[in-house]
Amino acid sequence: MLLAFIAFIAYHQRMPGLSDSGQHAVPKVSVLMSTFNRRQYLAEAIRSVKKQTYTDWELVLVNDGGEDVQSVVSSFFDKRIRLISLPENRGKSYAVNTAFGESRGRYIAYLDDDDAWLPNHLQTHVDVLDQEPSVMLCHSNTHKVTLEMDDGSVREVGREQLYARPVSFSDLIARNEITWLSVVHRRECFDAVGGMDERLDALVDFDLWRRIAARFSFRHIPVHTGDYYFRFEKGGSHAQITGRMALDPAGYLHNHVLLSRKRFSKLLEHEHEEALRRSRRDAAVSFLIARGRSFCNAGRVERARVSLRLAIAVDSGAGALRELGRLELEQGRSAEALTCFERCLSIAPCLADHFYAAKACLALRKPHRALQFMEPLDRGDLSGEAKKLMHEYRVEAHRILSSLQPEAD
């Protein structure tokens, strides 16, 4: 009796995803999601897909070699959700490419396993794509929600709107301005650019948007449709992919170098020549500085010097010079450090360089010059700690002066 009743209901009220013949119809929207050892958040992300007011979708979920999530998926009793489990971790790009290869939808949407959509997300995007054939990709507004995790409890400690404006290729040359979960695009966009770059293990969304923007038009939808969660343990760290910038700056920024080196059509390269050149230079310099710091932290001082000198060769700005000056100060090479900070002050003066230069002079027992470098600090808006440090330097300068025979330094 129960089975007959279920069959009767299924006949008169077709479940989502079923055609009139009872076969699974091709959905209009394919939602691509990868997951790796974030089982505790996955159900909430899937639930936000289930709550969509637009129901003609499929969710292709790829478990990227992480802990088993079959029970999480099965708990939703929804045939629109398909799980693909990889035998080993291959990275987000490979997982999303795999999901795309298994997808069938005309439109492609993305959601990470630890974020969530609002119920209006898919309907908002499908309406635009259906009504405006010339629009190939649309992106809506996202809120960045900061969550503090404390011994099992979760507390929202911040919320801000991200990237709430129209974006074109020129806006994506130097930095990302579109969130992963805010995008829905036509299937041919992904095909045309060759999908995700599997060499990258960070900035994969930024790279994809740049390549799509180089070929297709975007449309911004000024509607909030999703939340990007930034989680951190109270007194600890977080495990999101963006956390790599804090954990492994050189590795993270190497991805930026790789994506910035990619070439576009001759027309785009000519039209945006200066912006592209500057972006590629800045990416290289940031990576070399980060690598220099990494070598320094590992005690590989000479390798750090080489990396920082390469950064200076690429760009004569103050950033790499300042970093090299700090390294030389730490290594007791005060004369070399002073040269670096003097060059910094001639390029882009900042209060910190005055402190560093004064410290180098004190180490070289040049108190008059140290006091000269500190003079501009009297006119600066210094913190209490900075004022304390300046006082200590002045005391040290006068101590050195009193110990020296009167002579010019």
Backbone angles phi, psi at 155, to 5 degrees: -135, 125
Going by DSSP bridges, is the β-strand pair 81-85/57-63 parallel, antiparallel, or unpaired? parallel
Residue 12 has pLDDT above 60, yes or no: no
Q: How far apart are CA 251 and CA 322, in angstroms?
A: 21
pLDDT digits (tens, 9 = 90+) for 392-401: 999 999 999 9
8 Å CB contact between 322 and 341: yes
Mean pLDDT of 293-304: 95
Condensed to tens digits (0 to 9), the pLDDT of residues 128-169 reads 999 999 999 999 999 999 999 887 788 889 999 998 899 999
- Band (378; pLDDT cuts 50, 70, 90): confident
Whether the predicted model's global pTM rises above the 0.95 cut: no
Mean pLDDT of 86-113: 97
Q: Classify residue 254: in a domain, yes or no.
A: no
- What percent of the chain has pLDDT above 90? 77
Give residue-wise pLDDT tens across range 21-64.
344 689 999 999 999 999 999 999 999 999 999 999 999 999 99
- What 8-state DSSP symbol labels residue 18? B
- 207 and 117 fall within a common domain: yes
Domain count, the chain: 2
In a domain, residue 331? The reply is yes
Whether residue 335 is predicted with pLDDT greater than 60 in this model: the reply is yes
For residue 383, is pLDDT > 90?
A: no
Residues 201 and 301 in one domain: no
Query: Which CATH number does the domain housing residue 280 bear?
Result: 1.25.40.10
- Beta bridge partner(s), residue 63: 35, 85
| Domain containing residue 55: CATH number | 3.90.550.10
Q: What's the chain's average pLDDT? A: 90
Listed range (6-10, 121-125, 177-181, 291-295) with the worst mean pLDDT: 6-10
Higher pLDDT, 313 or 9: 313
List the domain range (segments joined by +) for residue 134.
2-242
- 145 lies in the same domain as 193: yes
Per-residue pLDDT, averaged over 277-289, amounts to: 96
Shared domain check, 299 and 195: no
Q: pLDDT, tens digit, for every residue of 110-139?
A: 999 999 999 999 999 999 999 999 999 999
Same domain, 223 and 313: no
Structural domain ending residue among the three candidates 242, 276, 303 = 242
Q: Is residue 252 part of a domain?
A: no
Q: Across-strand partners of 230? A: 146
pLDDT of 66 higher than 90: yes
Same domain, 80 and 176: yes
207/309 same-domain check: no
Q: Tell me: the pLDDT tens digits for 265-280?
A: 999 999 999 999 999 9
- Whether residue 373 has pLDDT greater than 80: yes
State residue 348's pLDDT score.
87
Complete DSSP assignment for 227-271: EEEEEEETTS---SGGGHHHH-HHHHHHHHHHHHT----HHHHHH
Determine the angle formed by the axes of helices 351-363 and 334-347, rounding to 10 degrees.
Answer: 160
Phi, psi at 90, each rounded to 5°:
-115, -5
Tell whether 192 and 317 lie within a shared domain. Answer: no
Percent of the chain at pLDDT above 70?
Answer: 91
Give the residue-averaged pLDDT of 366-387. Answer: 87
Question: Is 110 in the same domain as 192?
Answer: yes
Which of 175, 209, 242 is where one domain is finished?
A: 242
284 domain-assigned:
yes
Last residue of a domain, one of 175, 210, 242: 242
Residues 291 and 215 in one domain: no
At 235 the pLDDT is: 67
pLDDT score, position 334: 95
Over the stretch 67-77, which tens digit does the pLDDT of each residue have? 999 999 999 99
CA distance 340 to 357: 9
Confidence check: pLDDT of 403 > 50: yes
Contact at 8 Å (CB) between 217 and 190?
A: no
- Look at residue 21 in the predicted model and tell me its pLDDT: 38
Mean pLDDT across the stretch 369-379? 87
Q: Answer yes or no: is 102 within a domain.
A: yes
pLDDT of residue 251: 94
CA distances from 89 to 61, 94, 95, 142 (A): 14, 9, 9, 28
Residues 6+ apart with CB under 8 A from 199: 93, 258
- Summarised one tens digit per residue, pLDDT across range 307-322 is 999 999 999 889 999 9
Handedness of CA 326, 328, 330, 335 (dihedral sign): negative
Q: Is there a single domain that holds both residue 273 and residue 237?
A: no
Residue 399 covered by a domain:
yes
Tens of pLDDT, residue by residue over 201-255, are 999 999 999 999 999 999 999 999 999 999 888 766 544 545 677 789 999 999 9
15 DSSP 8-state letter: P
Q: Are residues 204 and 281 in the same domain?
A: no
Would you say residue 261 lies in a domain?
A: no
Strands 57-63 and 29-35: parallel
259 inside domain: no
